[in-house]
Amino acid sequence: MGNRASREQPRQNLFLFGQPIQHSISPTFHNTLFNTLGLPWRYIRLDSQDLEDLAWLMRSDDFLGAAVTMPNKIRVIPYLDELSDDARRLGCINTIYVKKSLTGRGRRSLVGTNTDWIGIKHALRNHEAALIQSLQERPAVVIGGGATSRAAIYALVKGFNVREVFLVNRDPTEVEITTKDLRARGMGESLIHLRTVDDAHEMLHGMTPAVIISTVPDITPQSESEKLARAIALRLIEMSSKNSPVKPGIFLEMTYTPSPWTQLAKAAADADWKIITGVDVMELQAIEQSVIWTGRKIDDLPYAEASKAMRSSILTDERDKIM
Compute mean pLDDT per 10 residues along the chain, 323 residues long, and list them.
55 94 91 96 96 93 95 95 95 94 70 97 87 85 93 93 92 90 80 93 88 94 95 90 70 88 94 93 96 95 91 58 39
Nearest to 162 by CA among 205, 117, 132: 132
Displacement of CA 96 from its chain's centroid (Å): 15
Domain boundaries for CATH 3.40.50.720 within the chain: 118-278
Which superfamily is assigned to 118-278 in CATH?
NAD(P)-binding Rossmann-like Domain (3.40.50.720)
State the pLDDT at residue 1: 42
Angstrom distance (rounded) from CA 224 to CA 48: 31
Angstrom distance (rounded) from CA 17 to CA 15: 6
Beta carbons of 155 and 124 less than 8 angstroms apart:
yes
Displacement of CA 73 from its chain's centroid (Å): 11
SS3 label, residue 146 = helix
- CA count, 13 A, side-chain hemisphere, 273: 28
Residue 29, number of CB atoms within 10 A of its CB: 26
Beta strands in the chain, from DSSP E residues, in sequence order: 12-18, 41-47, 63-68, 82-83, 95-99, 109-113, 140-143, 164-168, 190-193, 211-214, 250-253, 274-277
State the pLDDT at residue 148: 93
Domain boundaries for CATH 3.40.50.10860 within the chain: 2-114+280-320
Q: Give the strand pairing for 274-277 and 250-253.
A: parallel
Class of domain 2-114+280-320: alpha beta
State the pLDDT at residue 322: 40
